[in-house]
Amino acid sequence: MTKEKVIKLFSEKFGKEAPEVYASPGRINLIGEHTDYNGSFVFPGAIDKGMTAAIRFNGTGSVRAYAIDLDESSEFGFNEEDLPKEGWAKYLFGVCREIIKRGGTVKGFDTVFSGDVPLGAGMSSSAALESTYAFALNDLLGLGIDKFELARIGQSTEHNYVGVKCGIMDQFASVFGKKGNLIRLDTKSMEYAYFPFDPEGYRLVLLDTAVKHELASSAYNRRRESCEHAAKTIAGRHPEVEFLRDASMKMLDEVKAEIPEEDYMRAKYVIEETQRVLDVCDALEKGDYDTVGRKMYETHHGMSKLYEVSCEELDFLNDVACEHGVTGSRVMGGGFGGCTINLVKDELYDSFICDAKAQFKAKYGHEPKVYDVVISDGARKL
């Protein structure tokens, strides 16, 4: 939604005095999935879709918020017991609470927000919301919180007020995004590097199955527990191993008999995925998109068969891409539904989209939604 529209809706709700307007994007991730809570690498970029919020202090001790797209309001204070009941308002509340926990003073405000990043599609609508408010409050209140901590405020909101024990990738990408660049982040050292991404002759496109998995957050948390258990067991023999990122397949195989089969499969995927991110970075530097694409298919296979976070519809779209000769394709984000990300040669693009829509509709009764990826800037004031 444009700045003007958000301001107009704000004035209808809260009066004419002008608010400030902030925006933060969702993200894509080229490769490196479920690696961010394993101390490993991710390779995301911010996109041209996200959340936009108008905000103005109201002189009270509470927040009055209106979610434009849902036509719902919420009002809450800043104490732990003031947790709002509306799911979306928990993100705003969590951000305020996490700022307060870090010693910041938050003042009551009125706000409206709207988003064009599809919910539950694996493009991080929730991180976009958290980053918008973390960035806005930090700016408006002059709190001096650095960008890493803004991302951590969003991540802690997920952990403590939403119940998803996520990694840092989504919030990091939403805050640090840079137009035309992917970002390789080492989630252990938090070192990062921008990679200009303009693959000549190729396009990145997302195909959204519109499948939303009800139990995705508990399934996500269980994956994380499996990884931590495997890492801890390995650390029993190799104390230098803090995260799975530090482990090799040889080390994992040594403890194979000591851990459940499921934990072994999850850990194997993570160790292989870590290597794939590094391989993709090398391939990108050489302009070798065939290798990039091959690694994307390998990731899909691992996420489907070892990590078990794909679903029938995503596997179907991945097969269609492969049969159509698409360079790379895989499930993107946490999984359990949402999108595939596809690296497609320009000349195949139209026929692939047409084919994917027709085949998906014939099988599931509706077409997948298609989103072209435009890599854009991170959190900002408009």
* In the complex, minimum distance from the CB of residue 143 to ligand GLA, in angstroms, rounded to a whole number: 24
Mark 153-172 with x for binding to ligand GLA (rule: CB under 6 A) and - for no binding. Answer: -------------xx-xx--
Q: Looking at 170, 208, 263, 315, which residue is catalytic?
A: 170
Q: CA-to-CA distance for 255 and 264, rounded, in angstroms? A: 9
Residues 6+ apart with CB under 8 A from 244: 38, 39, 40, 227, 230, 231, 234, 267, 270, 271, 274
Q: Distance between CA 343 and CA 206 in Å, rounded?
A: 9
* Residue count, binding to ligand GLA (CB under 6 A): 11
From the list 31-39, 199-207, 237-245, 347-355, the region that binds ligand GLA by CB under 6 A is 31-39
Tell me whether residue 1 or residue 173 sits nearer to ligand GLA (CB atom): 173
Q: Which stretch binds ligand GLA (CB under 6 A): 30-38, 50-58, 96-104, 271-279?
A: 30-38
Task: Provide, rounded to whole angstroms, the least separation between the CB of residue 371 and ligand GLA.
Answer: 16
- Does position 34 bind ligand GLA by CB under 6 A? yes
Positions in 123-142 near ligand GLA (CB under 6 A): 124
Would you count residue 33 as binding ligand GLA (CB under 6 A)?
A: yes
d(CA 224, CA 217): 11
For ligand GLA, give the closer residue by CB, 40 or 138: 40
Binding-site member from 14, 36, 209, 328 for ligand GLA (CB under 6 A)? 36
Do residues 221 and 164 touch, judged by C-beta distance below 8 A? Answer: yes
Q: Which helix (H) or strand (E) holds 24?
A: strand 20-29
Residue 333 is a binding residue for ligand GLA (CB under 6 A) = yes
Tell me the closest approach of the beta carbon of residue 125 to ligand GLA, in angstroms.
10
Q: Nearer Cβ to ligand GLA, position 29 or 111?
A: 29
Residues 8 and 16 sit within 8 Å (Cβ to Cβ): no
Closer of 19 and 39 to ligand GLA (Cβ):
39
Catalytic, 208? Answer no
- Cβ distance to ligand GLA smaller for residue 33 or 208: 33
CA pair distance 75, 101, nearest whole angstrom:
20
Q: Closest approach of Cβ 327 to ligand GLA, in Å?
A: 21
Question: Closer CB to ligand GLA, residue 324 or residue 330?
Answer: 330
**What's the min distance (Å) between Cβ of 40 and ligand GLA?**
10
C-beta separation of 342 from 370 below 8 A = no
Sign of torsion over alpha carbons 279, 284, 288, 294: positive
CA dist., res. 303 & res. 33, Å (int):
8
The answer to whether 177 contacts ligand GLA (rule: CB under 6 A) is no
Residue 200 burial class via C-beta count within 10 angstroms: exposed 0-12, middle 13-18, buried 19 and up? exposed
Q: CA dihedral defined by 310, 314, 316, 321, rounded to 10 degrees?
A: -120
Instruction: Quote helix, strand, coil % in the chain, to nearest 5.
Output: 45, 20, 30
What one-character DSSP code corresponds to residue 375? B
Positions touching ligand GLA (CB under 6 A) are 33-34, 36-37, 124, 166-167, 169-170, 333-334
Q: Which residues are catalytic?
A: 170
